[in-house]
Chain A
Amino acid sequence: MARVVIRDLNKTFDGVHAVKDVNLEINDKEFVVLVGPSGCGKTTTLRMVAGLESITSGQILIADKIVNELPPMDRDIAMVFQNYALYPHMNVYDNMAFGLKMRRFGRAEIDTRVKAAAEILGIQAQLQRKPRQLSGGQRQRVALGRAIVRHPKVFLFDEPLSNLDAKLRVQMRVEIKKIHARLGTTAIYVTHDQIEAMTLGDRVVVMRDGVVQQVGEPLELYNAPANRFVAGFIGSPAMNFATVTIAADADGLLWANNEGIHIKLPAEVASRLRKHVGENVTLGIRPEDLRVASSSDPADVAFDATVEVVEKLGSEILLDVKVGPSMMAAAVEPTVLAKVRDQLRLALNPDRLYFFDGPTQAAI
């Protein structure tokens, strides 16, 4: 059980600045997810915590001790790898026992721990099998078991579910969540899948190009993204963006305009955008905040759209529409009867509009 602190962490290799000034405090028992597109530095950060990469500058503390110089074997951590990294020449039992043997645990203690972990994961029947005789899901469980038996200070997960098929992935996600709830070990989890991040993390760290973009609880990231990147990355289908010009009318009301959109901004939003009048800003609307306009919708929160693609997902319909010069996605009721090339009028929820500064892309 331990706190993990990352201070001003930097990593450069071969002249590439892969991780830039990362600061992060992970509390005891907390489950933190690092998420971002590939090459964003999340895995490198995790590997520095594990001791598998050297630290260019900055500090990493585990349980309030600086571990910069400590080899991985002395950090008392456990890690689950993307391709499971099961030792192919050992059976499941020996795979799980290896870490304990290296730490010179007694035979009886090893046996108790391995059996206990196998029971938690439901792999008692496979203990004598070799990894190649196991299914993907079973391998994943063994990899988890190998981490559990050690009772480490920290669990590290490096995209552990990305090799599983979609159905199994959901199942294992739940499993990991349960195990964490049961053991309460501090965990750092790396993934590129924002759904995984949102469902698993107590807090989520969004990274891009080696820089932390935002740290927060899942809904905080969804509802109040710090910048356009986080807004676009969190949520599925992704947020729509359009460049609009902010204009004030004779009554002092603010409007967001472009060739296809002409909408009035509610007072609360307008107050924040007042100083951007006359500027180009990025407007963000989530697909789930768009709907087909009904006659009761006022004209100033709706706009015309041409349907280009219709994706019927069952629980909803995803429309790819052209609005003026830009493309947008709208998640609408499954009852909507829209066909390709139909002209529609879409209404939006004016309280759920996001605006991002033109040059800096930061949320306004």
Chain B
Amino acid sequence: MAVSDVTTTSDTYAGSVRRWPITRLLEDERWLAFVLLLPTMVLLGLFIAYPFVKGVELSVTDAKVGVPGNFVGMQNFVVLLNDSIFRVAVWNTVVYTAVTTVFKLALGLWLALLLNRNFKGKALTRAFILLPFIIPTVLSTFAWKWMFDPTFSVINWTLFRLGLISSRINWLGDPNLALISVIVVNIWRGVPFYAISLLAGLQTINPELQDAAAIDGAKPWQRFWYVTWPLLLPVTLVVVLFSVIQTFADFQLVYVLTGGGPANATQLFATYAYQVGVGTGLLSQGAAISLAMFPVLLVVVIVQLLYIRRVETL
């Protein structure tokens, strides 16, 4: 540096073309990034971070609608532990999530493999198959509620005509059947999402690999198991991650079909939180139920992300 200092004394710095100060400021990557991120940070801060803090705050008070409430420590959570309905809701949520995920994955993969073949009308089929996923859940669920109607069920009519049943099935009224019915509707809505996402994953797999495996003497199921499935695994894991979170926190489907009933047989975290927090107006208790989802979701996310990272680096 010392050497160049001597030689540069006569050099002048080139002046920038005259520009607005703001323009020059935005040429600095850090300032530009700050400005670009500002709207997002404000919105997410106000309506995600702040409610989260507020939720934690609420859950340690005894606030009701219109009543500010006093600090009560962990009392709301203690109440939950001894609340039999809460325990039922936890159990239901776990069953609901586990069963639907297994079925959605299996059926979705099957459908994806079917769609991955070449046939006439493929694009149209794919477009129609996604309908259950894009039509607002509440609205399509009403169609199911009508199909499950105790008196006018078209499903019962069909089964009766086929001679499979002689008396009606009360799909949503029977506590055991209700959870199954809810699960069926969730699977119905979720399969297209799995199928289309996995199809996209399948399409990234080079077909030459299939040919190579076939030449190596692999039978179709071996080609699937040793070639397709391992390559599809990263996409599958991400799809499952999204689906598990959405299902675990599901609300609208159950709200419309059963409202959590009969006798809490289909009560989930979210519906119970709604019932307590909004229905009965016990804000703090409702917030506590919602928040109780958080650790479970966090564990799911962390485990899955770690696993995905491991699979992707393989």
Contact = CB atoms under 8 A, between A and B. Distances in A.
Interface stretch (B6-14, B81-89, B129-137): B6-14
Contact of A70 (B1, B11, B16): B16
B17 interface: yes
B70 interface: no
B21 to A, nearest CB: 14
B1 A8 contact: yes
A65 B27 contact: no
B3 interface: yes
B4 interface: yes
A67 B14 CA distance: 6
A58 B12 contact: no
Contact of A7 (B8, B12, B17): B8
Contacts of B14: 62-63, 65-67, 70, 74-75
Contact of A65 (B1, B3, B7, B11): B11
A59 interface: yes
B38 to A, nearest CB: 22
A103 to B, nearest CB: 9
A59 B16 contact: no
A62 B4 CA distance: 16
Interface residues of A, number: 18
A71 interface: yes
Contacts, number: 36
Interface in A6-41: 7-8
A66 B5 CA distance: 13
B13 A8 contact: no
Given A71-B27, A74-B17, A59 B12 contact: no
Q: Which of A59, A63, A68, A75 has the most CB of B within 10 A?
A: A59
Interface in A39-76: 57-59, 61-71, 74-75
Interface in B186-239: none
Contact of A66 (B1, B3, B8, B27): B8
Interface string A59-95: 1011111111111001100000000000000000000
Given A7-B7, A59-B8, A69 B1 contact: no
A156 B233 CA distance: 45
Given A65-B11, A67-B14, 5 more contacts: A7-B8, A62-B14, A64-B11, A66-B14, A74-B17
Interface of A: 7-8, 57-59, 61-71, 74-75
12 contacts: A7-B4, A8-B1, A8-B3, A57-B1, A59-B4, A62-B14, A63-B14, A65-B14, A66-B12, A68-B13, A70-B14, A74-B14
Interface of B: 1, 3-4, 7-8, 11-14, 16-17, 27
